[in-house]
C-alpha cells in the first residue's frame, strides 16, 4: 500500500485507503492501492506495467530498472504482475470498447482499474460476471425488481445491457427508457502461467456537465438512487464484492453468475440491432461484417447474446465483437 489514510487528493475527495487495504489484503496478497489526481487511463497504466514486468523477466536487475523508470503517475510500482487497485480522480483519456472515449469529470465520476492475475478454465462471460457484481453491490434491493416485470417494480433499479454497460432503469418503466450509468473495459495480458486481468470501471456518481452528458442511450448517475453517493463511498461499496466476484469467476466461470445476469438483462425480449463482426449460427461460425436484427433472447451458457432473427433462426452474437442498440418494440396493432 503506498498511501496512508485518510488520503485527500487534489480534488478534495477523501479516500479511506487504509480501510480498503485491510479489507482486500487478506484476499489479495501483495496488493498495492494507489490514488492519483489525474492520469490518462488507469487501464493503460496497469497494462504498461505488466508489459514492463514481462520484458524484465528476460533481462537483468529488475530493481535497478524499476528505480530508473519510476514515475509519479505510476506510484510505487512500475513493473508488476501483482494485484493493484489504481484509482484516478480524473481520467483525461479514458477508453471504452472499440476505441470509444469514456467521458468523466473529477468528483462527479468514479474511474478505477483493478488488476488481478487469474487463471479461469474459460474466460467466456467475464464482463457479464463483473457487471453482475457491480449491479448487486450498488443496488442489492433491485435484484428483486429486476426479476419482475418492469411495469410492476416500484423503484428505479440497475439493469445490465450486454455486454458491458450498467443502466439505470425507471420504476414501472420499460427497458427502452433506461439510461447509461456506467461501463466496463476488460483487458488481459500474460503474467507467467496466468493472465493479468485489468478490469476498468467508469461510473457516473454525480451529474456531469452538459458537455459530457451526451451518451446516445441517455445519462444517469448514482445520486439519483442514493443522495449521499460520492466517488470514495461508491468505491468502498463495490471493490470487495468485485474482488470476490473475480475469484468466484476463476472457480466457477459464468455459470456462477448466469441467473443473476438474466434477472437484470435489459435486452431480453426487446428488438435489437447488432452490428456484428462475428455470430454463431445453428450449424457453424459465421463471419460477417453485416448487421443482424431480431429479438434478444438472453445469453448462452458462454455469455453470447442470443438473437432470434426472422427467417434465420437463433443466432449467437459473441461478446467483444459487436455493439448493440435497442430498437423500439412496435406497439400492439401498429403498422
Residues 37-52 pLDDT 10s: 999 999 999 998 888 7
319 to 31, 196, 276, 300: CA distances (angstroms): 30, 19, 10, 11
Model confidence at 220, pLDDT cuts 50, 70, 90, reads very high
- pTM of the complete model: 0.82
Average pLDDT, the chain: 79
Q: How far apart are CA 22 and CA 18, in angstroms?
A: 6
Q: How many CB atoms lie within 10 A of CB 246?
A: 22
Q: How far apart are CA 119 and CA 196, in angstroms?
A: 9
pLDDT computed for residue 168 by the predictor? 95
Rg (CA), the chain: 20
Q: How far apart are CA 32 and CA 64, in angstroms?
A: 20
**CATH 3.30.930.10 domain residues, the chain:** 7-264
pLDDT computed for residue 250 by the predictor? 97
CATH classification number, 7-264, choose in 3.40.50.1820, 1.10.443.10, 1.10.287.90, 3.30.930.10:
3.30.930.10
Q: How far apart are CA 198 and CA 42, in angstroms?
A: 9
293 vs 212, higher pLDDT: 293
**CATH 2.30.30.100 domain residues, the chain:** 271-326
Quote the cell numbers at residue 151.
411495469
pLDDT computed for residue 283 by the predictor? 31
Mean pLDDT, residues 162-181 taken together: 83
- Specify whether the CB–CB gap between 270 and 176 falls below 8 A: yes
DSSP letters along 116-158, please? EEE--S--TTHHHHHHHHHHHHH-TTHHHHHTS-GGG--S-EE
Is it the case that residue 58 has pLDDT exceeding 50? Answer: no
Percent of the chain with pLDDT over 90: 53
pLDDT computed for residue 218 by the predictor? 79
Identify the helix (H) or strand (E) that includes residue 113: strand 109-118
Please provide the CATH number assigned to the domain covering 271-326.
2.30.30.100
Strand partners, 295: 271, 308
pLDDT computed for residue 10 by the predictor? 59
Q: Residues near 228 by Cβ (< 8 Å), separated by ≥ 6?
A: none
Which range, 144-148, 173-177, 208-212, 313-317, is most confident?
313-317
Mean pLDDT, residues 177-189 taken together: 91
Is it the case that residue 327 has pLDDT exceeding 80? Answer: no
Model confidence at 1, pLDDT cuts 50, 70, 90, reads very low
| Three-class DSSP category at 334 | coil
Is it the case that residue 215 has pLDDT exceeding 90? Answer: no
Q: How far apart are CA 100 and CA 67, in angstroms?
A: 34
Amino acid at each position: 500500500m503506498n498511501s496512508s489514510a485518510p488520503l485527500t487528493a487534489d480534488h478534495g475527495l477523501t479516500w479511506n485507503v487504509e480501510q480498503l487495504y485491510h479489507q482486500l489484503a487478506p484476499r489479495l496478497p501483495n496488493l498495492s492501492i494507489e490514488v492519483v489526481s489525474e492520469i490518462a487511463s488507469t487501464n493503460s497504466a496497469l497494462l504498461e506495467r505488466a508489459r514492463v514486468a514481462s520484458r524484465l523477466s528476460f533481462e537483468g536487475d529488475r530493481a535497478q530498472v524499476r528505480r530508473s523508470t519510476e514515475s509519479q503517475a505510476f506510484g510505487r510500482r512500475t513493473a508488476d504482475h501483482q494485484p493493484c487497485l489504481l484509482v484516478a480522480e480524473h481520467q483525461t483519456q479514458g477508453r471504452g470498447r472499440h476505441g470509444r472515449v469514456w467521458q468523466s469529470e473529477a468528483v462527479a465520476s468514479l474511474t478505477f482499474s483493478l488488476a488481478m492475475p487469474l487463471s479461469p478454465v474459460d474466460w467466456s462471460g467475464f464482463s457479464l460476471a463483473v457487471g453482475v457484481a457491480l449491479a448487486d453491490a450498488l443496488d442489492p434491493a433491485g435484484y428483486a425488481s429486476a426479476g419482475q416485470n418492469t411495469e410492476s417494480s416500484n423503484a428505479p433499479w440497475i439493469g445490465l445491457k450486454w455486454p458491458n454497460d450498467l443502466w439505470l432503469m425507471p420504476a414501472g418503466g420499460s427497458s427502452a427508457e433506461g439510461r447509461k450509468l456506467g461501463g466496463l473495459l476488460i483487458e488481459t495480458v500474460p503474467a507467467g502461467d496466468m493472465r493479468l486481468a485489468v478490469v476498468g470501471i467508469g461510473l457516473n456518481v454525480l451529474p456531469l456537465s452538459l458537455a459530457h452528458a451526451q451518451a446516445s442511450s441517455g445519462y444517469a448517475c448514482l445520486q439519483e438512487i442514493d443522495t449521499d453517493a460520492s466517488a470514495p463511498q461508491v468505491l468502498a461499496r463495490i471493490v470487495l464484492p468485485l474482488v470476490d466476484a473475480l475469484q468466484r469467476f476463476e472457480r466457477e466461470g459464468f455459470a456462477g453468475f448466469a441467473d443473476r445476469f438474466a434477472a437484470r438483462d435489459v435486452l431480453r425480449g426487446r428488438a435489437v440491432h447488432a452490428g456484428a463482426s462475428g455470430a454463431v449460427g445453428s450449424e457453424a461460425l459465421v463471419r460477417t461484417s453485416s448487421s443482424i436484427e431480431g429479438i434478444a433472447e438472453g445469453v448462452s451458457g458462454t455469455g453470447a447474446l442470443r438473437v432470434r432473427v426472422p427467417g434465420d433462426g437463433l443466432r449467437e452474437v459473441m461478446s467483444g465483437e459487436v455493439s448493440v442498440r435497442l430498437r423500439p418494440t412496435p406497439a400492439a396493432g401498429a403498422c
